[in-house]
């Protein structure tokens, strides 16, 4: 089975016979296990634990170990807390997982630890940069690895204040730690993949970075980050683009607010190194709530720091800095409906107008009130009777936070890279379909094959067409990872996207090709973005 497969072992204390494999990476030997023809290695450290003096420092290379290290259990998730409801946490969170500052681990699924040089797919999880883990059950990579003969990797990274605190403007006596630690963790994981993935049968020169929500936003940011160049060769962005990068002054204000909640009186660098992590989490939660997830803004996200991120990544992408990277980018039709599940206010026309005027208080370049233009642009939205205002709010927020940023990134990348492709996920579950529609995160079990599990078949996605759509989507993702083109025999012809022909594959009960499905929303947002009026709204 290849030179790197060595011997079968039974882990001590195993209740039943298990088959494992031993692989040698740069830090030492790892023992995984084989189940259903897929070798799995869990809890592999790709950096030293960011604890003690390393709490607010860039990730350091992992230390070597002498004995064979068991890689049969997931590592802890990053510490996390957030003002989100149970449904959102179930989909994107790490509820029930062990949490620790010692969280920089990754997981590998491979059809064989041989010399096959398979395509590698590295997953960055979502969760608004405050939740989630690479070990969340929905991200188990075995089905995708087996179907496509690819190597799947999922990673953890530091979240919230531990991962995205900017020290700009925080006064202190010591040297300020670096910003964007969570993004630096992602880069460290990609460096580990580059150095070691060939031992797992993967090709380090054919790495596809893919992620959803904050994971896609991270991917979009990495497209414009100099330090990430050469570490991945294709990118799949699910419900996220490159807009979620704070300007330096915005990130500084968030950091100042966070420190104020902690009531730090001495050197903030020294004190924050020593405070209990639970105290940091409480201040993080208060800061997050103050910014307000209800309008799509996030306190904790990457920021322009003049170092790792020297400029807005969109400027680098527009310049063609990522011209060599094919991308597949898309959104779900009813993205924001997931977040409306936590909205306790029943919207009517008056409340909708109040929200829009609060969110968009300015005027455009012609002196027109932006809120009035928004009310006109989103005057109609098809939905259940009596919920017209809610449907309009959902359409507005879905365009603002997801659809338009994706279209903008696709436009910029397609100017330089002809292998740019777009999709729109439209499948609606039979359970809660009227309320959730094709909401944020619903495509995840289709990408990872979870719709075929007994729980999914019996619950949310019990639909005979779900398994067929799952096969089509997995095959598209795998084809793109293999050769940079998502088309295959089970789908209609899927031409590339450009700003002249915005071809988009719809993925639902019936997969069809459409051109510019979000044209009306794009035509509203595009002038605002061009003239800067919408800068605070993305």
**Catalytically active residues, by annotation:** 213, 335, 440
CA angle 397, 86, 75 (to 5 degrees): 105
Other residues' Cβ atoms within 10 Å of the Cβ of residue 191: 17
Q: What is the C-alpha to C-alpha distance for residues 459 and 430, in angstroms, rounded to an integer?
A: 9
What lies within 8 Å, CB to CB, of 532 at 6+ separation is none
Extract the tokens encoding 189: 């994981």
CA nearest to 99, candidates 119, 79, 83, 118: 79
Number of H helices, E strands in the chain: 19, 13
E strand residue ranges, 213-340? 234-238, 327-332
**Segments in 484-532 forming alpha helices (H):** 519-531
- Torsion over CA of 533, 535, 536 and 537, rounded to 10 degrees? 80
Query: Rounded to an integer, what distance in angstroms lies between the CA atom of residue 107 and that of residue 43?
Result: 6
Contact status, residue 275 vs residue 69, Cβ threshold 8 Å:
no
Cα(461)–Cα(425) distance, integer angstroms: 14
Nearest-CA neighbor of 163 among 101, 107, 88, 243? 101
Number of CB atoms found within 10 A of residue 16's CB: 5
Q: How far apart are CA 430 and CA 511, in angstroms?
A: 18
**Rounded to the nearest 10 degrees, what angle do helices 248-262 and 277-291 cross at?**
130
């Amino acid at each position: 089975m290849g030179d790197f497969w060595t011997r079968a072992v039974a882990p001590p204390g195993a209740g039943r016979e298990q088959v494992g494999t031993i692989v040698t990476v740069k830090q030492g030997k790892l023992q995984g296990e084989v189940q259903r023809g897929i070798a799995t290695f869990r809890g592999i450290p790709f950096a030293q634990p960011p604890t003690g003096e390393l709490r607010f420092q860039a990730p350091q290379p992992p230390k070597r170990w002498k004995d064979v290290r068991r890689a049969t259990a997931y590592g802890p998730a990053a510490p996390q807390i957030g003002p989100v409801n149970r449904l959102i946490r179930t989909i994107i969170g790490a509820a029930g997982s062990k949490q620790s500052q010692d969280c920089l681990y990754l997981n590998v699924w491979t059809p064989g630890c041989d010399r096959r040089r398979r395509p590698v797919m590295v997953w960055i999880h979502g969760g608004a940069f405050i939740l989630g883990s690479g070990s969340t059950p929905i991200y188990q990579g075995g089905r995708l690895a087996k179907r496509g003969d690819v190597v799947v990797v999922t990673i953890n990274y530091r979240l919230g204040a531990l991962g995205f605190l900017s020290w700009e403007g925080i006064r202190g006596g010591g040297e300020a730690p670096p910003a964007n630690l969570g993004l630096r963790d992602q880069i460290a994981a990609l460096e580990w993949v580059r150095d070691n993935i060939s031992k797992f049968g993967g090709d380090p020169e054919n790495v596809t970075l893919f992620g959803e929500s904050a994971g896609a936003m991270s991917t979009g940011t990495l497209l414009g980050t100099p330090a990430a160049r050469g570490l991945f060769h294709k990118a799949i962005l699910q419900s996220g683009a490159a807009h979620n990068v704070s300007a330096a002054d915005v990130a500084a204000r968030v950091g100042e607010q966070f420190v104020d909640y902690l009531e730090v009186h001495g050197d903030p660098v020294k004190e924050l190194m020593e405070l209990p992590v639970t105290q940091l989490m409480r201040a993080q939660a208060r800061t997050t709530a103050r910014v307000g997830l209800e309008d799509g803004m996030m306190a904790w996200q990457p920021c322009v720091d003049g170092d790792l991120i020297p400029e807005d990544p969109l400027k680098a992408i527009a310049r063609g800095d990522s011209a060599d990277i094919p991308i597949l980018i898309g959104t779900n039709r009813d993205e924001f409906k997931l977040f409306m599940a936590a909205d306790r206010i029943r919207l009517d026309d008056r409340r909708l107008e109040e929200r829009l005027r609060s969110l968009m208080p300015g005027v455009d370049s012609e002196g027109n009130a932006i809120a009035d233009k928004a009310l006109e642009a989103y005057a109609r939205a098809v939905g259940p009777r009596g919920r017209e205002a809610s449907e309009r709010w959902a359409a507005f927020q879905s365009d603002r936070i997801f659809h338009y940023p994706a279209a903008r990134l696709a436009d910029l990348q397609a100017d330089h890279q002809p292998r740019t492709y777009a999709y729109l996920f439209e499948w609606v579950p039979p359970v809660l379909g009227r309320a959730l529609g094709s909401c944020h995160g619903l495509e995840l079990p289709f990408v990872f094959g979870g719709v075929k599990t007994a729980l999914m078949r019996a619950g949310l996605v019990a639909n005979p067409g779900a398994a067929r759509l799952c096969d089509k989507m997995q095959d598209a993702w795998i084809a793109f990872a293999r050769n940079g083109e998502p088309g295959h025999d089970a789908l209609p012809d899927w031409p590339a996207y450009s700003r002249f022909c915005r071809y988009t594959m719809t993925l639902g009960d019936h997969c069809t090709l459409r051109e510019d499905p979000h044209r009306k929303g794009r035509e509203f947002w595009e002038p605002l973005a061009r003239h800067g009026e919408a800068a605070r709204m993305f």
